[in-house]
Amino acid sequence: MQTHIEIEKKPDVQNPLLVVGLTGIGNVGRTAVSYLIDQLEASKFAELYSPHFPHITILNENDEMQLLNNEFYFYKNPDGDDVIFMTGHTQSVSPEGHYEIVETVLNTLADYNIKEIITIGGFGAGEIVEEPSVYGIVSNAEIQKRYENTDMSFDHSVGEVIGASGLFIGIGKRHGIDGLCILGETPGFLLSDPKATEEVLKNVESILNIDIDYENVNEKIQELEKVLNKIQKLQGDLMQGQGQQQGEKDLTYIG
């Protein structure tokens, strides 16, 4: 199996933004993009599979077994740029896989003329923060002015990014696509963080010119936590090379 995208239907979009929110620190990207998909009732149109994902299968919402994957949704935006959303269960287990997955996405979506890439992630403050900041990093200095009216800080106290949130901007730049990375401040030791997610969403709301109802953020994130918790636990075990992990009372592990 090579990293590949299975397209179920052609997305009805014109020069869309690509908005990426994957798993990571505080899972800010994953929860924010999941909430956006839910709020905007975006349509799923493709799935990405990769041999660089952990060799784990999980149950989907219908209790059916499935491979870990990343998913793509589109939103035909009446008031702004069309959007393709990317989210999913996991990121690559190797550096080489990270580069391959981002390249595969950009090559496959090249047909739709991505206008700009926006990635969402978290950065770890190491402690509980009452009012999480949101930082922006751009691929080219001149596009920063597009975001003057947002609450994002561009003071560059954040200097580097690990994983897909950064690679999408860096590799996108080599493909000639502008990019913005939005990072919400989060303690780093929490599985999810509704407060950071909400702060990030406010900025995305303004950029996409959409309306978000924040009433269900906590509830939706709690639902997501079940899946996040399972995968994170298993990946942690795999990374420690524990292929013959002993089970626990809740029957989490299987050989």
Nearest-approach distance from CB 42 to a second copy, in angstroms: 23
Give the nearer residue to a second copy in terms of CB position, either 220 or 233: 233
Element (H, E) at 179: strand 178-186
Cα(224)–Cα(218) distance, rounded to whole angstroms? Answer: 10
Q: For residue 154, give Cα distances in angstroms to 6, 142, 145, 193, 219.
A: 37, 13, 10, 22, 31
Tokens of 242: 């524990």
Element (H, E) at 10: none
Buried b / exposed e along 97-109 (16+ C-beta atoms within 10 A): bbebbbebbbebb
Give the nearer residue to a second copy in terms of CB position, either 147 or 188: 188
Nearest-approach distance from CB 187 to a second copy, in angstroms: 8
Nearest-approach distance from CB 91 to a second copy, in angstroms: 8
Element (H, E) at 50: none
Give the nearer residue to a second copy in terms of CB position, either 25 or 204: 25
Give the nearer residue to a second copy in terms of CB position, either 27 or 39: 27
Give the nearer residue to a second copy in terms of CB position, either 80 or 247: 247
What is the residue-wise DSSP string for 210-233?
----GGGHHHHHHHHHHHHHHHHH
Nearest-approach distance from CB 228 to a second copy, in angstroms: 11
| Contact (Cβ atoms closer than 8 angstroms) between residue 11 and residue 45 | yes
Nearest-approach distance from CB 102 to a second copy, in angstroms: 8
Give the nearer residue to a second copy in terms of CB position, either 215 or 251: 251
Give the nearer residue to a second copy in terms of CB position, either 182 or 208: 182
- Of the chain, the end-to-end C-alpha distance in Å amounts to 22
Nearest-approach distance from CB 142 to a second copy, in angstroms: 9
The rounded Cα 126 to chain-centroid distance in angstroms is 21
- Give φ, ψ of 202 to 5 degrees: -60, -40
| Contact (Cβ atoms closer than 8 angstroms) between residue 76 and residue 13 | yes
Nearest-approach distance from CB 217 to a second copy, in angstroms: 19
Q: Which of 64, 35, 82 is nearest to 197 (CA)?
A: 35
